[in-house]
Amino acid sequence: MTIAPEGRRMLRIEARNAETPIERKPPWIKVKAKMGPEYTQMRGLVQKEGLHTVCQEAGCPNIYECWEDREATFLIGGDQCTRRCDFCQIDTGKPAEFDADEPRRVGESVATMGLRYATVTGVARDDLPDGGAWLYAETVRQIHKLQPGCGVELLIPDFNADPTQLAEVFGAAPEVLAHNVETVPRIFKRIRPGFRYERSLDVITQARAAGLVTKSNLILGMGEERAEISQALRDLHGAGCELITITQYLRPTPRHHPVERWVKPEEFVELREEAEQIGFAGVMSGPLVRSSYRAGRLYRQALDARG
């Protein structure tokens, strides 16, 4: 029996993944730290107040740019997810008890940091009767209450595409409703066994029908083919998706899915141009792009496109 670092028995797929050593990154996968005045002030504030952001804890390569723009990302619902995706660093297990005060604390953190735009994401909470819908919705309400004028982007699980649960989330009126498809249909079940490709598209369609700005993400380098990426972009746009980010998969640990290929910067440029031609209102495409990268700017592009 193989044991994972946190002490649990390793899944068969994790043991199989671990047989492939961590890949060496190509030269274009590197970040130059640019510590501007807004970033420096934010870092000092976060340290002083003991605040927690995904930006820091996940070691996001874009923290310098996002904090300079007064944007940050928060994780809600705990650190244990009820589902497992083969690319995701968050552990799968029994989640912590429901914390009804978490939305207020996140709102206070956003206000303390003086953010202009906040992205809120979280784990899947299939253990809760509403799948965590209230938690997501209340976090939006608290941010809008405690930091008026701050845009909120919700990056949600699929809530099994349940119209009642989604209506709870949509009713909080986030500026952007994001749900990430992440990969193409052929390998979707292997990479995201707890999700369904068509169901994810349905979530986006329901969000657009509710009048929300919609967004998704595709991760490259997990075994997809070039033509499949193009089809996924068309599927997303056809489902009502307005904003898209396209990223390079970076393997978190040996237990996760091996990197199948390193996508060259030129291909990301080609994909950005293709997505724009398909009709997306805003596109971010690059090796170090993440789904919340320059989120406020993409939101403004969606507003401009809507007129």
174 Cβ contact partners less than 8 Å away, ≥ 6 residues apart: 120, 140, 152, 153, 154, 212
Nearest to 159 by CA among 191, 117, 204, 190: 204
60 Cβ contact partners less than 8 Å away, ≥ 6 residues apart: 54, 66, 73, 290
- What b/e sequence results for 244-253 when a residue is b if at least 16 CB atoms lie within 10 Å of its CB, and e otherwise? bbbbbbbbee
Q: How does strand 213-220 pair with strand 117-122?
A: unpaired
Please indicate if the annotation marks 109 as binding a ligand. Answer: no
Please indicate if the annotation marks 230 as binding a ligand. Answer: no
Please indicate if the annotation marks 150 as binding a ligand. Answer: no
Which residues contribute to the annotated binding site for [4Fe-4S] cluster? Answer: 55, 60, 66, 81, 85, 88, 292
Known binding-site residue numbers: 55, 60, 66, 81, 85, 88, 292
